[in-house]
Structure 1
């Protein structure tokens, strides 16, 4: 069978690999759609320190069950549609023992530390699959990236009384926007791409501010009548926004970091104490977050359609990363369609 491989920086190619068979406790999934993630793009650009090349990318996967191995529950019947949870859990590290397996110390994410889903078929443990026959099949691959933003909202303990400032309007930031809106919060977004701004407003952002053209702190102050944003969610992953989150957070505010800056970040730590900030990291997502996203998309499928910027047929998938590089300021999500749904 075929897989798409990032074999060197800035280049992808198809390779033939052995077709998998499901082992004990595993399910063979016929891959239908895969979303490309920012981490995949970083791998393509040679900027992902967690990845060794060559690597098959892809951890945003929707598919259909083909067959099951031994000791798999009858619910996982052939023909059922599934969303893939792409993370592993060791069950023994401090995070797992505390019931927070999404932050497993030894996690290996599909497409990052191990080969991912850009292939015809993939065998996965049954407990890494969520059965779902209600979402449109092309929306299944949107669940994982949105769940990352929903998890950040959960980490920030966002409530209906909060104003949330999201720094970065890419796909992970979109997950935070939708997650905050689902909890009844007010949302402001900082995003430099004018082409994304209209869509971000349609998704529920009250205001979208370009910090290169407008004083962000002043704009947030005006919108919130001097209160500031109760929760600041950093979804850009650059040093400037890491520091900006601390500057913009009000006294006793909450900060959640989803991305991570590629280099060291210098802070004036006095603001941590003076403002008595709650600063939290956010990694991956929990099953609860996946379920929340699925419930949201079941009620708001029209919004999901706004997020699909470009669809490539499987046979044209080698063009996808080059397209994203050329159209980054207007791209939310690129999907690879394996053409098996007719």
Structure 2
């Protein structure tokens, strides 16, 4: 089978490998679509921590069931998506239902080889049938679920003011699901094209371009009260620290971004506002199912989100260009 391997930073190599033989309890999938995300771009750049090369990237995927264990509700020919966070099921986090932050988690395409291949064997418990959703849409469920999980963590109430800082794919997902939860959404980013997308396709009430007067602009928009909920999806330590200033009194700050840095904040301001600070990592099966239901209901602009496409064999040429801001990528999907 064809397998696209990131042999080293900046080096994608198409290899021939044997088709995997599923072990007991595994499903064999014919991979059909793989979404490319920021994690994959970090791997390609060589800036993804805790990763060893060579690595087969890809954790946003959909495919067709080739074989499944006896007694499974999956059958050959079924279309399916994969929950790529391979949790252990036995650690304290898993016991509390927080499989997204399993103590022994292995993520496809990061800790173990992922989906940029024609076939993939995955434990049955992480493969779910999709109905009423196309393969392209099913490959977008994972990144949307990350935003949906962050919104669920925030416990947004209708009418609250929410600020999303960073309008990449994860920020876009957070803005979408915050608006669907009833929030009045403002999006802050330095890229005008991303802000225009949020206004046109996501129903963002306000979009703000990053600049020297950002704090004053956000204050003016909220009559000095700032925001009930702030989501950071920038992946930038400085932006993450600045975001504390945008949280209103009694508000909540949700850090979706994860960076290899220490984040500091003013303790007097934190306590004065009785701020709630939350981390949001990955997503759970409940978030995946919520996203699927939302797509089926026609509430996700999937056609607009899917901005770029390529075949597996063409990805080594396409990926470097997609990483340039001028390409205007929202979500790129690879056909395998």
TM over 0.5: yes
Partner residue in 1 for 2:68: 68
**Structure 1 residues 233-277: Cα deviation after superposition (integer angstroms, max 9, x where no partner):** 010111112112211111111010011123223322222212111
> 2: distance between equivalents of 1:267 and 1:224?
22
* CA offset digits 1:165-198 (Å, max 9, x no partner): 0010000001101111221111110111112222
Aligned-partner Cα distance in 1 for 2:271–2:317: 49
Distance 1:177 1:265, change over 3 A: same
Hey, what's the Cα distance between the residues in 2 that align with 1:83 and 1:105?
23
State how far apart, in whole Å, the 2-side matches of 1:183 and 1:250 are. 19
Residue 37 in structure 1 maps to residue 44 in structure 2: no
Residue of structure 1 aligned with 2:288, choices 276, 287, 290: 290
Pairing 1:178-197 to 2, within 5 Å after superposition: 178-197=176-195
Instruction: Determine the structure 1 residue equivalent to 2:205.
Output: 206
Contact 2:156 2:183 in 1 (8 A): yes
- Retained in 1: the 8 A contact 2:147–2:173? yes
Alignment partner, residue 126 of structure 1: 124
- Does 290-299 or 327-336 show the bigger shift? 327-336
TM-score by length of 1: 0.94
Q: How many residues align?
A: 335
Tell me which residue corresponds to 1:50. Answer: 50
CA distance in 2, matches of 1:177, 1:129: 27
Provide the C-alpha distance between the structure 1 equivalents of 2:329 and 2:109, rounded to a whole number of angstroms. 20
Stretch deviating more after TM superposition (251-260 or 318-327) = 318-327
1:152 alignment partner in structure 2: 150
Aligned with 2:140: secondary structure? helix
Contiguous gaps of at least 5 residues in structure 2: none
Mapped contact 1:187–1:205 kept (Cα < 8 A):
yes
Shift of 1:67: 1.1
**Is the 1:169–1:196 contact (alpha carbons within 8 Å) kept by the matching residues of 2?**
yes
| Kept after mapping to 2: 8 A contact 1:173/1:235 | yes
Coordinate RMSD, CA, aligned: 1.5
Over 3 Å counting, the alpha-carbon distance change for 1:328 and 1:69 in structure 2 is: farther
Unaligned segments of structure 1, at least 5 residues: none
Greater share of strand residues, 1 or 2? 2
